[in-house]
A and B are shown apart, each in its own frame.
Chain A
Amino acid sequence: MTRPSDEAMLDAPFRSAAPAGRAGFGALLKSEWTKFRTVRGWLVALLVAGLVTFAVGALSATGSKRECAGPDGQPCAVHIPPVGPNGQSVTDRFTFVHQDLPGDGTVTARVSSLTGDGAAPEPWAKAGLIVKADLTEGSRYAAVMLTGGHGVRWQYDFTADAAGTTGDAAAPSTAPRWLRLTRSGDTIAGYDSADGVSWNAVGTATIPFPGTVQIGMFVTSPDHTVTVQRFGGTETNSEASQAIAAFDNVAVNGGAGDWADTQVGGDDGGPGPTPNAGFTEANGTFTITGSGDIAPAVAGPEGNTVERSLAGVFAGLIVVMVLGSVFITSEYRRGLIRTTLAARPQRGQLLAAKALVIGVVTFVVGVITSALTFWIVGAIRRANGVNVMPVSWQTDLRVIAGTAALLAVSSVFALAVGTLLRRAVGAVTITVVLVVLPYVLAVASVLPSGAAQWLLRVTPAAGFAIQQSTPVYQQVDATYLPSSGYFPLSPLGGFAVLCGWTALALALAAVSLRRRDAAA
């Protein structure tokens, strides 16, 4: 491009040498990304966020050793909890009176009584009919049963649970109750009946058992748990319980061999012995005593969740939120916001570009950090004898990606609050108080669980629920507390609360950015 000489210029209009072109949202993104990557301190902060997440997790992992001494000071046998068909940790301990079932068949029986050991049965004490792949813990099964307080249930493969057709939650059906279980190809079906004449289907399951399976009657009864909550902590006491059930009118179609009884899961499968477990038969009436449970495992003193490895995320989260705030407040502090807004006057777009840049950057760093931490710290915990309850690989991935999303959305939340307040100190304080503090108070059991649960529903800290790997199971009575990894909201529900807060903050930030002068 050549320009006319100065003398000839006087009345000639100026022509810009800048290349023509457009600069859309992509150019704005590129600009904000350039801004971010050219401040070394911010890149270092990302590294620090990753390191503290790992370090806090690793420290707490090396600190939590599970030690167990027998009566004579010898090390006691470590019970390795079984893994169910979906890859998750399960409890599989019961008294099983069984025979072979080579092909299709049916078992029918009437549960004539179900009691506890000199007391009312546990609400989730179970007595019923089961078909199971084999006698090893964690193998696939389907069962129809009468429970101590929840009527007739249809359950299979540990996690599935459905109510029977008679009775309801207010007046659950009780003994005596007729039950029937059929195997027809891969289809297992359960029925119940009040009189043994008219039968109702309770549920079906498709389980491709390989060849001969075990079919028969089972009895089990979960630990009796008492939870005391007070300020400063929650105390849970549990002791083994027993159920005794009588079965009559027992009829097997297609079975082979005699009745045998097996303590599936062994006698030492949990806290407390299982005295008198076994069965007696007299005049066609089987009296079976059992203890344990056939159910998904619940995190607590005996088993820790996989996401416990990511216990340091709250520390990384603080760093990431400082970064999110400073990404905008540093511009106000230096007056640079005026340069930025002179270059891109569309203020809503600017906020969107900044949010996208900080969100994507923290997400990518979050995925790397949480994946490495998850596996390395998890390995340290297992090496220390901690029972890390396995879950399916899909759940592993969701915990890792969810943790990264938690970091990303929190940094955007901090950016929005920083835009509103224009000052880093205020923005960081507010976001830490809203996101991190409720989580720490709840998880460290500082607050009574009612208050903790309430905080984890309404504050952005609800987003930590995305890390929860094991759901709350209605068929397992336990104290589901934040301290053992249970949040009051579902993983996506809790995350949606955090996203809601962030969307609100972004909307307010956009309005205030548009309305106010671009003053420092």
Chain B
Amino acid sequence: MEPSIEVIGLRKRFGSTQALDGLTFAVRPGQITGFVGPNGAGKSTTMRVILGLDAVDEGTALVTGRPYRSLHRPLTHLGSLLDAAALQPSRTGRNHLLWLAHSQGLGVRRVDEVIEQAGLQTAARRRAGGYSLGMRQRLGLAAAMLGDPPVLMLDEPFNGLDPEGIVWMRGLLRSLAGQGRGVLVSSHLMSELQDTATHLVVIGRGRLVADTSVAELIGEASGGRVTVRTAARSEATAVLAGAGATVSSSDAGTLTVSGLAAEAIVAVLTRNSVPFAEVSAHRASLEEAYMELTRDSVEFVAAATQESAS
């Protein structure tokens, strides 16, 4: 199937900074692609390039196979949320959606539909200047959905949402992808994408660090490690090492074992009468997988260092 978004060899300089350095990736329809990297990695710049807002020095960005600027009624092809704070404060949320709708030849009916979808019924007729960040995110999402587009692109949509809002946003994104839409969601916090993204594009300093499915990434990061909780730490370490496993202890009473499957560990401990409380296959969190992935990435480390230095 044709990619929802395709980015090929993007390069862009801002003065002495190479913001994008040969970035290439694709967003598939029907799934949520997480777009991850530290602040300043080039996520927002990439999104502006996809929208034809910023020009690139090299490369192309396509939305369902066509440059964004050549699309007629672009909001019916790609809905985007770049900056939820980009509102005229004295205009009501509903009127904000209304001018956007008019620009696409859409009417007031569609406006009321997306207001309901975004759960903004009560706030829609108030001035946007008085909205909380969470309400602005909802308004931005309503704007993105206005054209009922097959592709959505959201920059940090979880910012400013309360826990309830985060759950709502995740559910909404999943259902949008479930309808067959391609969804690109950026975040600088991997944990926000837990249970949401099925594919990840990780970038650092304008370069691609990883382009992988979430399942694959977590599987690799888990690396067949097993957690053993036992009171008899030294005995357990001895018998497991004897059986050929690599053992490390993270804290008193807990060992991390690799090189042996969970079933084999249970058998070895039982055979040697070593008592244990729990043996469980370790499953890495997305956050851990991300850290694992980026540990060795020069681009990433350098970017992260620069980020923390600034």
A residues lining the B interface (CB < 8 Å): 3-4, 6, 9-19, 21-24, 27-28, 30-32, 34-35, 38-41, 330-331, 334-336, 338-346, 517-519
A414 to B149 CA separation, bound complex (whole angstroms): 36
Contact: B88 with A330, CB < 8 Å?
Answer: yes
* Among B75, B143, B150, B178, contact of A9 (Cβ-Cβ < 8 Å): B178
A214 to B51 CA separation, bound complex (whole angstroms): 82
Contact: A38 with B99, CB < 8 Å?
Answer: yes
Contacts of A27 in B (CB 8 A): 102-105
Contact: B80 with A18, CB < 8 Å?
Answer: no
Contacts of A17 in B (CB 8 A): 148
CB distance from B30 to the nearest CB of A (A): 6
* Among A12, A18, A34, contact of B180 (Cβ-Cβ < 8 Å): A12
Contact: B87 with A517, CB < 8 Å?
Answer: no
Contacts of A339 in B (CB 8 A): 82, 86, 100, 143
Contact: B85 with A342, CB < 8 Å?
Answer: no
Contact: A34 with B30, CB < 8 Å?
Answer: no
CB distance from B33 to the nearest CB of A (A): 15
Contacts of A11 in B (CB 8 A): 1, 30
Contact: A14 with B29, CB < 8 Å?
Answer: yes
CB distance from B220 to the nearest CB of A (A): 24
Contact: B90 with A40, CB < 8 Å?
Answer: yes
Contact: A39 with B88, CB < 8 Å?
Answer: yes
Q: Which of B30-54 contact A (CB under 8 A)?
A: 30, 48, 51-54
B193 at the interface (CB under 8 A from A): no
Contact: A31 with B86, CB < 8 Å?
Answer: no
Q: Which of B66-74, B235-243, B245-253 contacts A (4 or more CB under 8 A)?
A: B66-74
Residue of A nearest to B79 (CB): A342
Given A6-B175, A17-B148, A23-B72: A344 and B103 interface contact (C-beta under 8 Å): yes
Contact: A518 with B74, CB < 8 Å?
Answer: no
CB distance from B306 to the nearest CB of A (A): 21
Interface size class, chain B: 35 or more
> How many A-B contacts if CB must be within 8 Å?
137
CB distance from B83 to the nearest CB of A (A): 5
Given A18-B147, A338-B82: A30 and B74 interface contact (C-beta under 8 Å): no
CB distance from B155 to the nearest CB of A (A): 11
Contact: A34 with B95, CB < 8 Å?
Answer: yes
Contacts of A4 in B (CB 8 A): 180
Most A CB within 10 A of own CB, among B80, B91, B105, B178:
B105
Contact: A23 with B88, CB < 8 Å?
Answer: no
CB distance from A147 to the nearest CB of B (A): 65
B304 at the interface (CB under 8 A from A): no
Contact: B105 with A21, CB < 8 Å?
Answer: yes
Contact: B75 with A335, CB < 8 Å?
Answer: no
Contact: A31 with B100, CB < 8 Å?
Answer: yes
CB distance from B82 to the nearest CB of A (A): 6
Contact: A343 with B100, CB < 8 Å?
Answer: yes
Residue of B nearest to A32 (CB): B99
Contact: A16 with B147, CB < 8 Å?
Answer: yes
15 chain-A/chain-B pairs, Cβ below 8 angstroms: A6-B175, A6-B178, A16-B147, A27-B103, A34-B98, A335-B86, A336-B87, A341-B52, A342-B51, A342-B75, A343-B75, A343-B100, A345-B52, A345-B74, A517-B53
A367 to B48 CA separation, bound complex (whole angstroms): 42
B269 at the interface (CB under 8 A from A): no
B55 at the interface (CB under 8 A from A): yes
Contacts of B280 in A (CB 8 A): none
CB distance from A117 to the nearest CB of B (A): 71
B24 at the interface (CB under 8 A from A): no
Given A14-B181, A16-B148, A19-B106: A336 and B68 interface contact (C-beta under 8 Å): no
Contacts of B148 in A (CB 8 A): 16-18
Contacts of B98 in A (CB 8 A): 34, 38
Given A10-B30, A16-B148, A345-B52: A335 and B143 interface contact (C-beta under 8 Å): no
CB distance from B88 to the nearest CB of A (A): 6
A336 to B82 CA separation, bound complex (whole angstroms): 10
Given A18-B76, A335-B83: A9 and B104 interface contact (C-beta under 8 Å): no
Contact: A22 with B72, CB < 8 Å?
Answer: yes
CB distance from A39 to the nearest CB of B (A): 5
B107-120, CB under 8 A of A: which get 1 and which 0? 00010000000000
A10 to B177 CA separation, bound complex (whole angstroms): 9
Contact: A342 with B180, CB < 8 Å?
Answer: no
A56 to B144 CA separation, bound complex (whole angstroms): 47
A341 to B149 CA separation, bound complex (whole angstroms): 17
CB distance from A306 to the nearest CB of B (A): 39
* Among A23, A41, A334, A341, contact of B85 (Cβ-Cβ < 8 Å): A334
